[in-house]
Amino acid sequence: MSERIILITGTRKGIGEALAKYYLSKGDIVIGCSRSEIEWSKNGAFENYRHFLTDVSDEKAAKEIFSFIRKKYGKLDALINNAGRASMNHSLLTPIDTMRDVFNTNTVGTFLFCREAVKLMRKEKNGRIVNFSTVAVPLKLDGEAVYAASKAAVVSLTQVLAKEFAEFGVTVNAVGPVPIKTDLIRGVPEDKIKRLLDRQAIRRYGTPEDVINVIDFFLKPESDFITGQVIYLGGV
């Protein structure tokens, strides 16, 4: 089987949708998941795409995805942990349920999928895992305490798992996007976004293509000596 088997979380829209379509266009087999139905692949529009309705923090549901991949393909070449939730409020205005939801998706989900993925990848002594951080971590953005904390945890996970998984031939890296025009920032005031962009060396919104470029680099066969790294976009 020459096609890569790639699992991407959070493929309903935004960056996840762009990632899924991109790798499908490259001839890869893509397994995606989200909490709700997707529109872009209805009626079998992409024959090499399989979608699961899954909360990434649900251990049982996650294991069902990996069981499907094991039985259907016998391997997994890459995992892209794109699924994410944000809370962009002052900490005094953030309910505890919101914090739990953000950490469950961003941190628990990332850990769970990394753990299950390496069980498949270690059999081939090869694999690529790419997690998602955010520039809110190095910039210590006010009003994003919960979101930044959850993604800071992802950075730590990435760096520790990179060491733990190295013996299996699996690399673990992360990308940290700047603001991209997706639903994740739709409710953020324009002046706040502008102030954030002004803190970047390259003062513009990011694009899905910017993110794909970094992920492509991490997924290359020649990148097998690169692990535990986080690339923040925009010159942060």
Per-residue pLDDT tens for 177-216?
Answer: 999 988 777 777 888 888 899 999 999 999 999 999 999 9
Q: Can you give the pTM of this predicted structure?
A: 0.95
CA distances from 144 to 141, 185, 215, 234 (A): 6, 12, 25, 19
Per-residue pLDDT tens for 44-57?
Answer: 678 999 999 999 99
**pLDDT-derived band at 43, boundaries 50, 70, 90:** low
| Structural domains of the chain, count | 1
Per-residue pLDDT tens for 62-117?
Answer: 999 999 999 999 999 999 999 999 988 899 999 999 999 999 999 999 999 999 99
The whole domain housing 223 covers 5-235
CATH number of the domain residue 133 falls in: 3.40.50.720
